[in-house]
Amino acid sequence: MGFEVSLKDYHEDHWLKFVDNCSKSVVESEIEFGDISVPKDIAIVLNYRLRNHARTWLFKSVPALDNVKPIDLLNSEEGKNILRVALMRMPD
C-alpha cells in the first residue's frame, strides 16, 4: 500500500462511522498513551484493533506503511490520514 493510494482512499465520513463503531467496544481509560500524543479517534481504533499491543505497534516499522513507524505519521495531518486508512484496512 503506497501513501498516495492511502490518501486517495481516505474518506472522513467512513472513518467517523468506523470510529463510532469501535468506540462501543473500547473503555475510555484504555485510550491513554501516557507521554505520547495520539488523537482520540486514532487512539480509540488502535485500542479496538490492537488492545494491549497498541503502544508497541506505534514504534514498529509496519510493512503496510512502507516500513514507516506509525508514531512518525502522527506529526502531520497527511500522516494521520494515512494511518487512519491503514487502521481501517487491518483485518479483524
Of 23, 2, 20, residue with least CA distance to 12: 20
pLDDT per residue as tens, the chain (92 positions): 455 556 788 889 999 999 999 999 888 777 778 888 999 999 999 999 998 899 999 999 998 899 999 999 999 999 999 999 999 998 87
- Taking the whole predicted model, whether its pTM rises above 0.85 is answered as yes
The C-alpha atoms of residue 2 and residue 47 are separated, in whole angstroms, by 24
Of 70, 75, 17, 65, residue with least CA distance to 41: 17
What is the residue extent of each domain of the chain?
3-89
The C-alpha atoms of residue 70 and residue 28 are separated, in whole angstroms, by 22
C-alpha cell at 62: 509496519
Of 44, 55, 42, residue with least CA distance to 22: 44
